[in-house]
Structure 1
Amino acid sequence: MMQSQFNRLLPHPFVSSLVTVSWLMLNHSLDPFDITVALLLGLIIPKLVQPFIIHTPKIQWSKAIMLILVVLKDIIISNIRVAKQVLGPMDNLHPKWYRVPLDTDHDYVNTLLAMIITTTPGTVTAGIDQERGDILVHALSCDDIEADILDIKTRYEAPLLEIFNVKQGDNA
């Protein structure tokens, strides 16, 4: 009974927390009024969007946090590398297009992989080709396409498969 009431009050606790923290950050304030508004929004907005949140996947949070740390580290390193490349001689740039084959057609895994690729400076996802089972990537500078593909698959795709408990070849 108590769990049922909790679920009705907070149907999506993560979304509630995200809304509350986002409101406080946007207002740059911890005044009692702003905290009250943030908490109210954190209760109301998830209830309003509940019909659109069909399924929240079960994920392995410890692995998700590790992947977030890897991605943040890669973003910092890539920012420095891209700045050096852009500010250096243009002869050192070797832009390339290549396709990263996907190990699954799981929607969450492939969408997040495409987002990670795009978020990391120096690479951008041009699209996910479901029929071919790959992601089209453009790299600002690439000397070894196979090494870049292997890096994406081992650093990002493999952990995403583990996070969502997906076996290679599984469908979403």
Structure 2
Amino acid sequence: MIASRPWLPTPVLSLLLLFVWLLLVRSTAFGQIVLGGALAIAIPLLTHRFWDARPHIRKPLLLLRFALRVLKDIVVANFEVAYLIANPWRKLRPHFIEYPLMVEDRFTITLLASTISLTPGTVSANLRMDGKSLLIHALDVDDEETLIQHIRQRYEQPLKEIYEC
């Protein structure tokens, strides 16, 4: 891993910014590389103090498995939502659910909320001010407790293990 330096707090982000700059201007002229490099160094320097500390990934292989699980769930949920919408005789049961959180780390909560929103049919609507629960809207809910356990086992528990929260 590349060590962070005071003049280059996030080297990977700086490289990404340079690459995006060159794509935006559609040129690899020397002047554009210099300007993009200056922006790639200046932007992280000016903004890094506003960022939260990056969490340490304890189990990278579990993170890979989690990402593959989420991708699979997105594909499956797309077909399920398409089926629900294509069948007008099927009555939907939309529902708001108060999901009690086991994790307390803001980064992990953000990942969980994003994962829930990425899977079609569910949306993270709100994080309570105390940070203890998420308000989730689901398109079709049979049993509230079953959905809570599904989210806890498939998403929250692996995130808790990956980042050891």
Tell me which interval the TM-score lies in, with the shorter structure as reference length. 0.7 to 0.9
Structure 2 letter corresponding to 1:32: T
Unaligned runs of 5+ in 1: 167-172
Q: Residue 51 of structure 2 aligns with which residue?
A: 53
Q: Residue 29 of structure 2 aligns with which residue?
A: 33
Q: Distance in 2 between matches of 1:147 and 1:134?
A: 17
Which whole-Å deviations, capped at 9, do the CAs of 1:18-46 have from their partners, x for residues lacking one?
43454456x395x5239825554433321
- 5 Å-filtered alignment, 1:72-151, equals 72-131=71-130, 133-151=132-150
CA 1:85–1:17: 2 relative to 1, 3 Å: farther
Which whole-Å deviations, capped at 9, do the CAs of 1:93-148 have from their partners, x for residues lacking one?
22122222111322222222112111211001121225482211111112232222
Q: Residue 15 of structure 1 aligns with which residue?
A: 13
Structure 2 letter corresponding to 1:156: Y
TM-score (norm: length of structure 1) = 0.76
Structure 2 letter corresponding to 1:143: D
Q: Distance in 2 between matches of 1:107 and 1:51?
A: 17
Q: Distance in 1 between matches of 2:143 and 2:15?
A: 42
Q: Is the 8 A contact 2:84 2:90 kept in 1?
A: no
Structure 2 letter corresponding to 1:10: L
> Could you tell me how far 1:17 is from its partner in structure 2?
3.9
Which whole-Å deviations, capped at 9, do the CAs of 1:63-100 have from their partners, x for residues lacking one?
33332222222112212211221122153422122222
Q: Sequence identity of aligned pairs in percent?
A: 34
Q: Is the 8 A contact 1:94 1:141 kept in 2?
A: yes
Corresponding residue SS for 1:93: coil
Number of residue pairs matched by the alignment: 161
CA 1:132–1:62: 2 relative to 1, 3 Å: closer
RMSD: 2.8
Unaligned runs of 5+ in 2: none
Corresponding residue SS for 1:125: strand
Q: Which region of structure 1 is more displaced relative to structure 2, 91-100 or 157-166?
A: 91-100
CA 1:33–1:125: 2 relative to 1, 3 Å: same
Corresponding residue SS for 2:83: helix
